[in-house]
Amino acid sequence: MTATTVTPRLEEDPAAGDTIWTERTSWLDSVPRAVSMAVVFAVFVGLWQFVSWLEVVSPIILPTPGETLADLIFVGQNLLSGGYMLPALWITMKEVFYGFALAIFLGFSLGVLVGETSFGERAIMPYLVAIDTMPKVAFAPLFVAWLGFGIESKVALAAFIATFPIIVGTAAGLHVADENARMLFKTMGATRMQTLIQMKLPMGLPQIFTGLKIGAVGVMAGAITGEFLGGGKGFGELIRVAASQLNTPRVFSLILYLSLLGLALFASVSWLQRKIVFWHKDRVGETHA
Amino acid sequence: MILLSTATPGTATADSPRALVYELSDVGKTYARNKVVALENVSLTLGKGSFSSVIGSSGCGKSTLLKIMAGLIPPTTGRVVLQGRPVTGARRDIGMMFQQATLFPWLTTVENIVLPIRIRDGRAAAARAREQAHDLLEVVGLKGFETVYPNELSGGMAQRASICRMLITEPAVLLLDEPFSALDELSRDFMNMELQRICTERDATAFLVTHSIPEAVILSDRVLVMKPRPGRLAEIVEIDLPRPRTLDMVTTPKFGKLVDYIRNLLDKEADA
């Protein structure tokens, strides 16, 4: 004999409405990116215009957005028509390029030494950490004294600043490989060099590129600081001269053009990373600096 | 009837009627750093085409044993001989598989599979081995995935590819370190049956380290039960279930008896 129990239906309030509902999202988060960026820019320029109009700050110190725009166009025309600013930009570009190349060479070599050998880790890493904690810009006068007022002292300072993040990135990258990957290479009878080149380095590429990106930012700062303190004929010198003449619109526009150079360098490193480390999904435009 | 060959701990030996491939005699490992005896007097033989499993609680020295057999670490006592030559380092005739598939994401599936050849014999030899890799991929049911990158493979597919990588050098012995324990239960059962099929087809000699008693029983000819502190062989259980083994054997009384017997052995070790 079996007993069946009928489960009574759940009492429902007929006035409660439908079961289909939508998740609430803020309208602010659904605005397209281009629009949000344009709005932020407009608000910034508006505030700037407002402050200039109030004249709470002397117009000599803070130019109006209009003045800055006019100067931005002037500098742009000068650069495009091959005026006196173009050679200055070229000099700074060379400093940045050579500085970065030198930093990549030194940073990578030292990074491998420190990350791969226990000698490097024990005997060299402590010194590198000690130097890294020093304010590296303070070495600028030394580089000028050693290498003169030419491009060399700026290249040296730029490379000096950019080397450390690349060392750290490379050394950290070489430690990414897990126990399984190491054992696997051991069972294949791989030599130390094979393990390094065919496994540890490719595995560490995301970290190495992080170091390169931070280095790319640092190399710009190094080159300009070098020019401020060591003279020469670069873009930093133009900024210094404009500032000493209280030509603030010029300072602003020069900085903006300089930032384009920095952006281009950073973007090329990011592009290279996406091409080479195709398996690693890094957020586009992600910065670690 | 169930055959149980008991042996006194310390001098445990397992003899196989088939031609011997691998022989360990009185192998021991003491770590000099903390003087811990990880392994004591382990003697065992692997016959050609046999499937043996080793099971034991953590710390019983089974991974130390496997590492010694793979030539990854040296033993402190005893002899380790594979195909007549002592094992003193990584060897081509030893194939190994780990818990993680460890396929490299910058290499395609087929490039991952021929990697052992590339490491040992160079790029040209690796290129020549591609043909063989295609055949192996067909054996494990991964035909058509040659140029796919590992990111696009599921966990089970990645382990199939790593089986191919292990087989590409045509090793004399397969050392399996919990190869499917990272997979879900269903894939795991399926992969175990695949492993059996591949081993039978190739008459491969396999040595499996596992935590799962049913897995050890369903796959093996013999299950080696290990005892911790110090790690040693406690007992060798012969599994006389007929071959080929199928998944529905797990419901037979014989299978249940074997699993119970091994579980009791392990419980006894845990209490001791």
Kindly report whether the peptide bond that precedes residue A165 is cis, defined as omega within 30 degrees of 0: no
pLDDT of residue B187: 84
* pLDDT tens readout for residues A57-76: 888 888 889 999 999 999 99
Dist. CA B74–CA B124, nearest whole Å: 32
Q: Which of B90, B104, B105 sits opposite A187 (nearest CB)?
A: B90
Q: Which of A8-17, A81-90, B156-165 is predicted with the least confidence, judged by mean pLDDT?
A: A8-17
pLDDT of residue A286: 46
DSSP state of B24: E
* pLDDT tens readout for residues B112-149: 999 999 999 999 999 999 999 999 998 888 888 999 99
Kindly provide the ipTM of the predicted complex, given to two decimals: 0.84
Residue B251, Cβ density class (10 Å: 0-12 exposed, 13-18 middle, ≥19 buried): exposed
Domains of chain B: 4-93+187-271 (3.40.50.300), 100-170 (no CATH)
Number of H helices, E strands in chain B: 9, 11
pLDDT of residue A257: 93
Chain A interface residues (partner B, CB cutoff 8 A): 178, 180-181, 183-190, 194, 198-199, 202-203, 278-280
Asked if A266 and A194 count as a contact pair (C-beta separation under 8 A), the reply is no
Q: pTM to 2 decimals? A: 0.82
Range A242-246 average pLDDT: 91
pLDDT of residue B206: 94
Range A79-95 average pLDDT: 92
pLDDT of residue B272: 55
Between chains, do A188 and B98 touch, taking CB under 8 Å as contact? no
Query: Residue A256 pLDDT > 90, yes or no?
Result: yes
Q: Which of B68, B106, B159, B173 to mutate against chain A (most A CBs within 10 Å)?
A: B106
Q: Which of A182, A184, A275, A281 to mutate against chain B (most B CBs within 10 Å)?
A: A184
Between chains, do A183 and B98 touch, taking CB under 8 Å as contact? yes
B125 touching chain A per CB within 8 A:
no
pLDDT of residue A19: 81
Measure B106 CA to nearest chain A CA, in Å.
6
Which residues from A are below 8 Å from B69, CB to CB? none
Token pair listed for A230? 């060591």
Between chains, do A279 and B105 touch, taking CB under 8 Å as contact? yes
Where are the domains positioned within chain A?
A: 92-235
Phi then psi dihedrals of residue B39, to 5 deg: -150, 135
Token pair listed for A100? 């970065």
Q: Which of A180, A190, A202 sits opposite B102 (nearest CB)?
A: A180
| Nearest C-alpha in B relative to A278 | B106
Between chains, do B119 and A198 touch, taking CB under 8 Å as contact? yes
Which residues from A are below 8 Å from B92, CB to CB? 189
Measure A206 CA to nearest chain B CA, in Å.
12
Give the H/E segment covering residue A228.
helix A201-230
Measure A235 CA to nearest chain B CA, in Å.
41
Phi-psi region of A200 (alpha: psi -120 to 50; beta: other; left: phi over 0): alpha
Range A219-236 average pLDDT: 91
Beta bridge partners of B29: B39
Dist. CA B138–CA B74, nearest whole Å: 37
DSSP state of A7: P
Which residues from B are below 8 Å from A187, CB to CB? 70-72, 90, 94, 96
* pLDDT tens readout for residues A147-198: 989 899 999 999 999 999 999 999 999 999 988 899 999 999 999 999 999 9
Asked if A132 and A185 count as a contact pair (C-beta separation under 8 A), the reply is no
Q: Which CATH number fits domain A92-235: 1.10.3720.10, 3.40.50.720, 3.20.20.100, 3.30.1300.30?
A: 1.10.3720.10
In sequence order, what are the residues at sequence separation of 6 or more whose Cβ sits closer than 8 angstroms to the Cβ of residue B87? B68, B69, B70, B71, B80, B81, B94
B106 touching chain A per CB within 8 A:
yes
| Nearest C-alpha in B relative to A205 | B106
How would you write the pLDDT of chain B (272 residues) with one tens digit per residue?
A: 344 444 434 334 444 457 888 999 999 998 888 888 888 889 999 999 999 999 988 778 888 899 999 999 999 999 999 998 999 988 889 999 988 889 999 999 999 999 999 999 999 999 999 999 999 998 888 888 999 999 999 888 999 899 999 999 989 899 999 888 888 888 888 888 988 988 888 888 999 999 899 999 999 999 999 988 888 888 899 998 888 888 888 889 999 999 999 999 888 766 65
Residue B88, Cβ density class (10 Å: 0-12 exposed, 13-18 middle, ≥19 buried): exposed
Measure B213 CA to nearest chain A CA, in Å.
24
Comparing CA positions, the residue from A187, A207, A179, A175 lying closest to residue A273 is A207
Strands B205-210 and B222-227, by their bridges, are unpaired
B116 touching chain A per CB within 8 A:
yes
Please write down the HEC assignment for all residues of A87-140: HHHHHHHHHHHHHHHHHHHHHHHHHHHHHHCHHHHHHHHHHHHHHHHCCHHHHH
Number of H helices, E strands in chain A: 12, 0
Query: Which strand ranges, in their side-by-side order, compose the sheet holding B77-82?
Result: B36-47, B20-31, B77-82, B85-86
Dist. CA A98–CA A89, nearest whole Å: 14
Measure B92 CA to nearest chain A CA, in Å.
7
Comparing CA positions, the residue from A107, A135, A128 lying closest to residue A210 is A107
Between chains, do B92 and A181 touch, taking CB under 8 Å as contact? no
Q: Which of B71, B98, B106 sits opposite A279 (nearest CB)?
A: B106
Asked if A155 and A99 count as a contact pair (C-beta separation under 8 A), the reply is yes
Comparing CA positions, the residue from B176, B255, B221 lying closest to residue B52 is B221
Which residues from B are below 8 Å from A203, CB to CB? 104
Neighbours of A277 (CB within 10 A): 17
Token pair listed for A268? 């090329």
